[in-house]
Amino acid sequence: MPTVVHVRRAFVLGAALSLALTGALAAATSASAAGGRYVSLGDSYVSGPLIPTQSGGLCLRSSHNYPSLTAAALGLSLTDASCFGATTVEMTAAQSDDGLTINAPQLNSVTSGTSVVTLGIGGNDIGFINIIETCAEESLTNPFGSPCTSHYTSGGTDQLAASISATGPKVAAVLTEIHQLAPDARVYVVGYPDILPEHNNGCWPIVPIAYGDVSYLRQTEKGLDSMLSAEAAAHGATYVDTYTPTIGHDVCQAVGTKWIEGLVPTSSAAPFHPNALGEAAMARALESAIG
């Protein structure tokens, strides 16, 4: 299965070709914005990999990710520091790829003049890509059973639930740092959208997650979102629910209805990530929260 490095490198050429156009669009947005300075922090669910038009080098940022759409809708001047593959570590440390720095510490973009900050993080802290790879491979051994659930709960401990619990203090530390850097900013923690079907057992083999594992992974994602909501409430931030408004638009839906792409994308987006429709839905949820 491809690694994070492989995914980035596979699409960096397209991102480079589109950089000039996206830069012009960003400059135009910044010049016309009058509603305050907005800094976007987070991972690939924020950056929008492979959604046209791409910029940000190996960070794979889209000009149609939810921060860009929100900034345009609300008249905010956007600094998008999000990056494909980011964890909470990369909020305060440079992000590198094979020793090459690809993104400065994301919190470097937050200053006392920042008025709005959004944070979308946590999925990579619990090993999102490895989870997908493991569950896809395990599904081949028992597609109608729950091999991935057995893998992650062997020995009587739910490893993914434990990872979520361990990530909570890391998110809390990031929120504390944001408030210190921008004491007057409104801070929003953006959750993850509905990836797998809410009411059935998936669509193996189109999406290679075994039928019995769908409910476990669904509850794992809800657990991640619940942790993010709790940390937001405890640290002076507003949680933005993107799961509820995206139910029914998961990876198993038809083209045009799905807002999350499957293992083999049917529109310009990374596997198991929001497409342009998904980023637009996340933007609507965020815009509503910001008001």
The span from the CA of 216 to the CA of 134, in Å, is 14
Mean pLDDT of 245-258: 98
pLDDT in tens, 130-175: 999 999 999 999 999 999 999 999 999 999 999 999 999 999 999 9
Quote the number of domains for the chain. 1
CATH assignment at residue 209: 3.40.50.1110
Burial of 155 (0-12, 13-18, 19+ CB in 10 A): exposed
pLDDT of residue 206: 96
pLDDT of residue 18: 37
Q: Could you list the residue range(s) of the whole structural domain that residue 63 is in? A: 4-290
DSSP letter, residue 244:
G
pLDDT in tens, 48-92: 999 999 998 999 999 999 999 999 999 999 999 999 999 999 999
In the chain, where do the E strands start and end? 37-42, 54-55, 61-62, 77-80, 95-97, 100-103, 116-120, 186-190, 238-240
pLDDT of residue 148: 98
The span from the CA of 94 to the CA of 72, in Å, is 28
Q: Phi-psi bin for 244: left (phi > 0), alpha (psi -120 to 50), beta? A: alpha
With a cut of 50, say whether residue 94 has pLDDT above it.
yes
With a cut of 90, say whether residue 4 has pLDDT above it.
no
pLDDT of residue 11: 41
Q: Which residues are catalytic?
A: 44, 273
pLDDT of residue 20: 33
